A and B are shown apart, each in its own frame.
Chain A
Amino acid sequence: MDCRTAHARIDEKADGLLPRDAEAELSGHLSGCPACAAEDAAVSATGPLLRALAGIRATEKAPALDAMWTRVRAGIEEGRESERRTSWIARWAWVPAAVALAVLAILFYPTGTDRSPFHPSTFDVAVEDIESEAATVALVDKGEDLPRVIWIIENGKT
């Protein structure tokens, strides 16, 4: 194994990617090459140092991270509460609208006038009594298929 290959294998070993048989081959080279052995020692020491540094930085930043997470959680809760409030209003808002519509329909239902054509279902009418102070009245009955007619004759004119 030459030194260039050994350097590549040292990096792979540090990353934990080097197969076991290649690691044995690399060890053989390192035992006979002080330069590569020094490189291996330096690279191998870098990983724990980085992990220790990351741990220190995390400890330093922990209070700030905690505060930030608390703010995020509060923001999420506030959003949920706002959504709950809005959906409650949206869910019930139609009730007064429906009641108002019903009241308007009852109040303004057009009972005073009717323009639909006449379609009587029966001409069965009993005239119990009939009288006039100012005219002569006649009751005309032309059969069940025709309406009964009360005819008012004013001043002898028909």
Chain B
Amino acid sequence: MARRKPKGRPGAPGLTFLLLLLLAAVPSEAANTVSVDVGAVYASNEGTSMDSALGTIRGKLQSMFNYTSYRMLDRKRRTLTVGEAGEFELPGRRTMRATPLSVEGNKVRLSIQISEGPKNLLTTTLGLSRGGMVLVGGPSHQAGVLILIISAE
């Protein structure tokens, strides 16, 4: 009995084209976008716990601050285009607004504004490398303080 010659999949070129189209579209979009990651850490002297979600930053926190306990309360990420403001709700009815001002290669300029109700706690402009990180701390929370871990990808 003659064996049938295996047929090619005529849909494969279509999907390949679709994927190429997507891949071509993604870098141009990604070059103009910044993924802003904000983690809210509650630092206090209540206990001696260290949240594993803090990753390699745990040792840095312990060497920089005198708190005995670090617990991540919340973490959010927003992918923003240049000029687009992203709102991050923080513990204690505080909010943070992040706006990428420009993206040049690996460098990102980021405007950060932290408010507590009508009060403006902080307005700053940061120049970060992608993958870079900065800490914003001090606002009181329960028996300790909040430390925000802000990074841009």
Contact = CB atoms under 8 A, between A and B. Distances in A.
A113 B35 CA distance: 11
Given A92-B11, A111-B78, A111-B79, A117 B132 contact: no
A98 B19 CA distance: 11
B146 to A, nearest CB: 9
Q: B interface, by DSSP: helix, strand, loop or mixed? A: strand
B interface, size bucket: 35 or more
B133 A125 contact: yes
A154 to B, nearest CB: 6
Chain B CB within 10 Å — which of A98, A146, A147, A157 has the most?
A147
A158 B137 CA distance: 9
Contacts of B52: 117
Chain B CB within 10 Å — which of A115, A118, A121, A152 has the most?
A118
Q: A interface, by DSSP: helix, strand, loop or mixed? A: mixed
B138 A153 contact: yes
Given A118-B55, A137-B122, A150-B134, A91 B139 contact: no
Given A102-B22, A128-B124, A149-B134, 18 more contacts: A91-B7, A114-B76, A116-B55, A117-B52, A117-B55, A118-B57, A120-B132, A120-B133, A120-B151, A121-B129, A124-B132, A132-B122, A134-B121, A135-B122, A147-B57, A147-B133, A150-B134, A154-B138
Interface of B: 7, 9-11, 14-15, 18, 22, 35, 37, 39, 52-57, 60, 63-64, 75-79, 109, 114, 116, 119-129, 131-140, 149, 151
Interface of A: 91-92, 94-95, 98-99, 102, 111-135, 137, 140, 142, 146-154, 157-158
